[in-house]
């Protein structure tokens, strides 16, 4: 009896999670119809050269989290980046195809980058990866695609 009750509770939660994971990339890819595509992010916003090292990557994350007011603030953004890639812009998961600081799936990256102002930028560019993530989280109102 408890097994069935437990299964009944897990199924809706799993279904909700699967739908969220499927809809977020679709919504981001569909945002390229011209009406909700953001302009390219000016270089004067968070002008940090992330190529100088981990400290600069963290500084860029703090700046972008503050600029877009993400839920949980900079501390949440930093902890998720640490968990996903240890702040390594070249991080790559060969199993899932996730890449960059926030481990975006490479098949969704072009649509997300285009939708959030980084058309044709690489997922391995930390500035693009971080700012696209912050803008996504700001729009979604949560860190749900990253399990947080």
At 31 the pLDDT is 45
Q: In terms of C-beta density within 10 A (0-12 exposed, 13-18 middle, 19 or more buried), how is residue 126 classed?
A: buried
The answer to whether residue 118 scores a pLDDT higher than 50 is yes
Question: Cα dist. 111→5, 40, 92 in Å?
Answer: 40, 14, 19
Task: State the average pLDDT for the chain.
Answer: 83
- Average confidence (pLDDT) over 96-116: 94
Residue 122: φ, ψ to 5°? -75, 145
pLDDT range class, residue 36, cuts 50, 70, 90:
low
pLDDT range class, residue 41, cuts 50, 70, 90:
confident
The answer to whether residue 130 scores a pLDDT higher than 90 is yes
Evaluate if pTM is beyond 0.85: no
pLDDT range class, residue 135, cuts 50, 70, 90:
very high
- Average confidence (pLDDT) over 3-17: 62
Find all residues with CB under 8 Å of 76, minimum gap 6, and list them. Answer: 65, 70, 143, 148
Neighbouring CB atoms inside 10 A of 66's CB total: 14
Find all residues with CB under 8 Å of 38, minimum gap 6, and list them. Answer: 115, 116, 117, 135
Q: Is the Cβ–Cβ distance between 41 and 117 less than 8 Å?
A: yes
34 or 18, higher pLDDT: 18
Reduced to 3 states (helix: H, G, I; strand: E, B; else coil), residue 104 is strand
Question: pLDDT tens-digit profile of 65-101?
Answer: 999 999 999 999 999 999 999 999 999 999 999 999 9
């Amino acid at each position: 009896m408890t097994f069935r009750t437990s299964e009944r509770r897990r199924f809706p939660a799993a279904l909700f999670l699967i739908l969220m994971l499927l809809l977020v990339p679709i919504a981001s890819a569909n945002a390229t119809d011209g009406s909700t595509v953001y302009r390219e992010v000016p270089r004067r916003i968070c002008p940090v050269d992330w190529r100088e090292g981990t400290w600069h990557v963290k500084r860029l994350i703090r700046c972008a989290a503050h600029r877009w007011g993400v839920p949980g603030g900079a501390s949440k953004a930093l902890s998720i980046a640490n968990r996903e890639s240890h702040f390594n812009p070249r991080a790559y998961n060969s199993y899932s195809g996730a890449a960059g600081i926030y481990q975006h799936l490479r098949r969704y990256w072009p649509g997300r980058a285009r939708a959030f102002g980084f058309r044709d930028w690489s997922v391995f560019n930390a500035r693009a990866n971080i700012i696209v993530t912050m803008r996504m989280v700001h729009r979604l109102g949560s860190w749900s695609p990253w399990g947080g």
